[in-house]
Amino acid sequence: MSETPGYRPLYRQVYDIVIRRVAEGAWRPGEALPSEQNLARELGVSQGTMRKVLDALTAEKVLERRQGKGTFIAESTQERTQFRFFRLARPGGKRLTPSLGTESARVRAARASERTRLELDRDARVVELSRVRLIEGVPAIRELIILPAAIFPGIEKQMPLPNSLYTLYQSGFGVTIVATHEELSAQLATDEDHEELGISTGAPILVIDRIAVGLTDRKVEWRLSRVSSENLVYAVTLT
């Protein structure tokens, strides 16, 4: 599939070194990296090459640079991550913040579909989280979240879960989400949707099927969200 470059630019090699260090947790979220100058000296490249690497990682939101202060591991804070991967809004654009309704968790053997979607071994175990989230106090989202138990050991004991799971993934398990692949479809509300969201059975709902990807392209979470489409839209900008 992927190209064999046959030629590997220096900045590419340096990039790989730095991202490996980040993935290994050499620095904690929010912690400062050495300065551009010092990193360049340590890795034996010019400041310009080092800058190219750090700028690329900044564009990927793995790092943050602040003029006059330094270069930091990007933190999945509520404010920052919230609107990055949570795309629900009021029609016209007003962004929303969900709050927690009910939740439950259990650990069990992975099903075949889960092993496929998350690229897990035959005997892998998963954590299954179910929760209902509220928008302005009204039940609006049913989420089913499947996590590889090996990556998130003991997460099922950490209830109640924070509103922003990705913040917990990073601070509690060293897992940084860098991208999500989503597939949206329209479906009809089931009896369960009716019970948990209070909408009519047969009402239209938005279903979001998401795979979240971590730093080293590892598939880390499979999330199915069923969204009451009443006065809610999924807002996205394509560029």
9 binds, among its own copies, DNA, none (CB under 5 to 8 A by kind): DNA
Cα 50 versus chain centre, distance: 27
Residue 198: CB atoms within 10 A of its CB come to 11
Residue 1: CB atoms within 10 A of its CB come to 2
* DSSP run (H or E) holding 112: helix 112-118
Give burial (CB, 10 Å; 0-12/13-18/19+) of 169.
buried
Q: What is the dihedral of CA 30, 165, 179, 75, to 10 degrees?
A: -10
Of 13 and 180, nearer to its own copies (C-beta) is: 180
> C-beta of 158: minimal distance to its own copies in Å?
25
2 binds, among its own copies, DNA, none (CB under 5 to 8 A by kind): none
* Cα atoms in the 13 Å half-sphere on the side-chain side of 146: 23
112 binds, among its own copies, DNA, none (CB under 5 to 8 A by kind): none
49 binds, among DNA, its own copies, none (CB under 5 to 8 A by kind): DNA
> C-beta of 230: minimal distance to DNA in Å?
43
115 binds, among DNA, its own copies, none (CB under 5 to 8 A by kind): none
Of 109 and 179, nearer to its own copies (C-beta) is: 179
* Footprint of its own copies (CB under 8 A): 60-61, 84-85, 87, 89, 91, 93, 178-188, 202-207, 209, 227, 229, 232-239
Dihedral sign (CA 223, 229, 231, 237)? positive
* Footprint of DNA (CB under 7 A): 6-7, 9-12, 33, 35-38, 44-49, 51-52, 54-55, 65-71
Of 44 and 137, nearer to DNA (C-beta) is: 44
> C-beta of 189: minimal distance to its own copies in Å?
9
Measured distance CA(227)–CA(233) in Å, rounded: 9
